[in-house]
Structure 1
Amino acid sequence: MIDKKKLVGEERRSLLLNWLQHEKKPLTGSELAKKASVSRQVIVGDITLLKARGIPIMATSQGYVYLTNQEETGYERIIACVHPPDKTKEELLLLVDLGVLVKDVKIEHPVYGDLTASIMVSNRKEALRFLETINETNAAYLSELTSGVHLHTISAKDEATLDEAEQALDKAGLLLK
C-alpha cells in the first residue's frame, strides 16, 4: 500500500482552492481533509487563511463552496419572519419548493448585535439535510435567541418568485408584520 503524501502549507491551500473552484457541490471539511491527508482542523485553519486573503469561500451547512458569479440567481430580498422552532421546516420547504434560495439567517442580538449564519439551501434535499444536521447536533436555531424573530436573505430568478414566496409565508403566518 502506498502512503498518501501529506500536503503542507501553501501547496495544500493552493490545492484546496483549486478543488473548491472546480467542484459544483459543497465539499465538507472532512472530505477536504481526507484528500489532503490532514486533519479537519487543519482544513478549518487553511480555509480561514484563504478567506482572510479575500478569497470568496463560504462555509455552508453542506460544506465549503467557492463563490463565483454563477451562484448569482438574479434577484435578492431580505424578509422578516417570526415563528417557533417547530415551524422552521415548514418555512424552509415552502421557500425552496417555490424555487427560492435561502442564503442566510440573521438576528439582532441584544449584546452581540447583528449575527448572521449561512444556510445556502435551494431545494428540498438540502433543506432536509440542514434540518437533520440541526437535529443530530442538538444545535439551537439562531431565532431561538430572539423569540423567533429573524431575517432571511432570499434570492430567485425573478421578482415574481420572491413576491410569491413572501405571500406564501404571510399566508402561513410566518412573516413578521
Structure 2
Amino acid sequence: MPDKAKISSSERQYLIIKQLKATNSPITGSEFAKKTNVSRQVIVQDVSLLKAKGEPIVATSQGYIYLTQDTNEDLHQIVIVCRHKPEDTKEELYLIVDHGVTIKDVIVEHQVYGDLTASIRVNNRKEVDQFVERIENTSAAYLSTLTDGIHLHTIEADSKEKLEAACKDLEKAGILLSKEN
C-alpha cells in the first residue's frame, strides 16, 4: 500500500477548524496527525498558528475543542477555591461532576508567573478518569502541587442549585475553602 501524501499546512488547518466546529467532543492531536499523515508536533504547531489568528481553540486533557461564540445565558458559573492533596484530586472532581457540573479549568497563583490557568473541561466520571489517568501515565504533576494544594476552579451548570450542591459536598469533604460569584 503506498504511503499517503502529506497535505499542506493550509489544508490541515482548514481540516482542523472544520472538524472541531462539527463536534462537541474533543479531538486529539494524534487523531489529526493520523488523518493528515504528519506528526502530532506538526498539528500542535498548526493549532498554535490558528490560535494566533484568533481561532478559539482550547487544548483540554481530552484533546482540542472549538469554543463557539454562542453564550448560553442558561449556564451559571462560579469560581471556587479548593485545597487538597494530589491523591484526593479524583474525589474532588467526582464530587463536582456528580452534580451535573462542568469543571472548566484549574487556576493557581504562581509566585513568579502570576495566575497559571489550564483548561480541564470535564463533566462526567469517565472524563475525570481519563484526566487523572493521563496525569498518572505521563508522571505529570498537578498544578496545585505548586501552591501547597490551593487552587481555583471555574465551574458551570445549568442551574445555581447544582453549583450549590457541588459546593456543599466539597465543603463536607473539607476541600472547599471559598466560592466567588
Q: TM-score range by the shorter chain?
A: over 0.9
The answer for the alignment partner of 1:125 in structure 2 is: 126
- Determine whether 1:61 maps to 2:61: yes
Q: Within 2, Cα distance between the matches of 1:23 and 1:100?
A: 20
Q: Within 1, Cα distance between the matches of 2:93 and 2:70?
A: 23
Which runs of structure 1 show a deviation greater than 4 angstroms over 4 or more consecutive aligned residues?
69-73
Matched residues, number: 177
Moved more, 27-36 or 61-70: 61-70
Amino acid of the residue matched to residue 94 of structure 1?
Answer: L
The answer for the alignment partner of 1:51 in structure 2 is: 51
Q: Within 2, Cα distance between the matches of 1:60 and 1:156?
A: 18
C-alpha distance after superposition, 1:56-86 (max 9, x if no partner): 1110000001112578571111000011111
The answer for the alignment partner of 2:138 in structure 1 is: 137
Q: Within 1, Cα distance between the matches of 2:24 and 2:170?
A: 30
TM-score (norm 2): 0.93
- Aligned-pair CA distance for 1:87: 1.0
The within-5 A match list for 1:55-94 is: 55-68=55-68, 72=72, 74-94=75-95
Amino acid of the residue matched to residue 30 of structure 1?
Answer: S
Segments of structure 2 that go 5 or more residues without pairing to the other structure are none
Tell me the secondary structure at the aligned position of residue 176 of structure 1: strand
The answer for the alignment partner of 1:175 in structure 2 is: 176
Q: Within 2, Cα distance between the matches of 1:22 and 1:36?
A: 17
Amino acid of the residue matched to residue 75 of structure 2?
Answer: G
Q: Within 2, Cα distance between the matches of 1:122 and 1:166?
A: 15
Q: Within 1, Cα distance between the matches of 2:84 and 2:3?
A: 52
Q: Within 2, Cα distance between the matches of 1:17 and 1:7?
A: 15
Q: 1:3 to 1:71 in 2, by over 3 A?
A: farther
- Aligned-pair CA distance for 1:140: 0.6
- Aligned-pair CA distance for 1:146: 0.4
Tell me the secondary structure at the aligned position of residue 88 of structure 1: helix
Over aligned residues, Cα RMSD in angstroms?
A: 1.4
Q: Within 2, Cα distance between the matches of 1:75 and 1:81?
A: 19
Q: 1:69 to 1:97 in 2, by over 3 A?
A: farther
The within-5 A match list for 1:90-101 is: 90-101=91-102
The answer for the alignment partner of 2:38 in structure 1 is: 38
C-alpha distance after superposition, 1:19-53 (max 9, x if no partner): 11112311110000010111111100000010111
- Aligned-pair CA distance for 1:118: 0.8
The within-5 A match list for 1:148-159 is: 148-159=149-160
The answer for the alignment partner of 1:27 in structure 2 is: 27
